[in-house]
């Protein structure tokens, strides 16, 4: 799924959860690395977090489903 497709899906889910009077939770499952040779980097994750904030998504979970982070990985997304 491309980033454009993911963003379109988030917009749809946001609309549907709002109509159902539910809260939307977004999970970024490879926030700290991607072993599949796909585009990835902390700047992509940060751009996504900024976009989610702009469209008023208030609950986001950064996850590591592939066991790649280092102790300093999470500081890339910590407010300065």
Q: What is this structure's pTM? A: 0.78
Contacts of 22 (CB under 8 A, 6+ apart): none
Question: 1-32 b/e with 16+ CB inside 10 Å = b?
Answer: eeeeeeeeebeeebeeeeeeeeebebebebbb
pLDDT tens profile 19-75: 999 999 999 988 888 888 888 888 999 999 999 999 999 999 998 877 665 655 556
């Amino acid at each position: 799924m491309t980033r454009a497709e993911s963003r379109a899906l988030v917009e749809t889910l946001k609309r549907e959860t709002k109509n159902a009077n539910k809260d939307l939770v977004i999970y970024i499952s490879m926030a700290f690395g991607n072993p599949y040779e796909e585009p990835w980097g902390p700047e992509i994750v940060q751009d996504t977090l900024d976009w989610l904030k702009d469209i008023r998504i208030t609950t986001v979970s950064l996850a590591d489903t592939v066991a790649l982070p280092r102790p300093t990985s999470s500081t890339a997304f910590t407010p300065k």
